[in-house]
Chains A and B, each alone.
Chain A
Amino acid sequence: GAVVSQHPSWVICKSGTSVKIECRSLDFQATTMFWYRQFPKQSLMLMATSNEGSKATYEQGVEKDKFLINHASLTLSTLTVTSAHPEDSSFYICSARDSGGVGEQYFGPGTRLTVT
């Protein structure tokens, strides 16, 4: 089956620093990738949609200067949390839509970010 990887799986950083999370589609190409945030016992909240080679589209209320997204290739998207604060601590999950299939969307394993 289609596999999406994320790195790192967990990260602890100090307040004010930046953290980069990588998302890769391992066995398929993804023109479109998505970044979600999930709070405990809640469903997924879409943060932004990224398309390869173009600027990401952010959902209402998501600060684009704080959450920088780059979709440099058909298999790689990155999310950088800039000047992280404790309230940014969360579970971040990326997802990739199979460009070659019928549009199935596969999710990565998630990254647990803790800002101290």
Chain B
Amino acid sequence: EDQVTQSPEALRLQEGESSSLNCSYTVSGLRGLFWYRQDPGKGPEFLFTLYSAGEEKEKERLKATLTKKESFLHITAPKPEDSATYLCAVRTFKAAGNKLTFGGGTRVLVKP
């Protein structure tokens, strides 16, 4: 069974204090790993898709990396507006209907 685990569950940062979120996965045949940001009361916002180990993608203060077992989302010099829940999900070659398997999310709070 495909499993996705995110850590930590919650993260409190001071503005400017860089940190990393972890998404570890146990799947058979990774087709893609997705990162989303979700604000309270809203749908997830697409951030990145990573397809193969060694791949990296950046967007503003966010950088996502991928290995064969896990992905990291690095937040560099975060600002209060980066406060959100960050969700990681995987899609496998065997997934029926191309569905995503989500981790539990990491709630990030950035204090000014």
List A residues at the B interface (Cβ < 8 Å).
1-2, 4, 6, 32, 34, 42-44, 46, 49, 51, 57, 91, 93, 95, 97, 102-110, 112
Q: Looking at the complex, which one of A91, A103, A110 makes contact with B32 (CB distance below 8 Å)?
A: A103
Query: Size of chain B's interface in residues, with CB distance under 8 A?
Result: 22
A residues near B97, Cβ cutoff 8 Å: 32, 34, 49, 51, 57
22 A-B pairs with C-beta separation under 8 A = A6-B43, A32-B97, A43-B87, A43-B104, A46-B99, A49-B96, A49-B99, A57-B97, A91-B41, A93-B43, A95-B43, A97-B98, A103-B31, A103-B32, A103-B91, A104-B49, A106-B46, A107-B46, A109-B43, A110-B41, A110-B42, A110-B43
Say whether A103 contacts B105, CB under 8 Å.
no
Query: How far does the alpha carbon of A17 sit from the alpha carbon of B20 in the complex, in Å?
Result: 46
Query: How far does the alpha carbon of A49 sit from the alpha carbon of B44 in the complex, in Å?
Result: 17
Say whether A105 contacts B100, CB under 8 Å.
yes
Contact code string B69-95 (vs A, CB < 8 Å = 1, else 0)? 000000000000000000100010000
Closest partner residue, chain B, to A91 (CB atom): B41
Chain B interface, >50% SS class? mixed
How many contacts A-B (CB < 8 Å)? Answer: 58
A residues near B43, Cβ cutoff 8 Å: 4, 6, 93, 95, 107-110
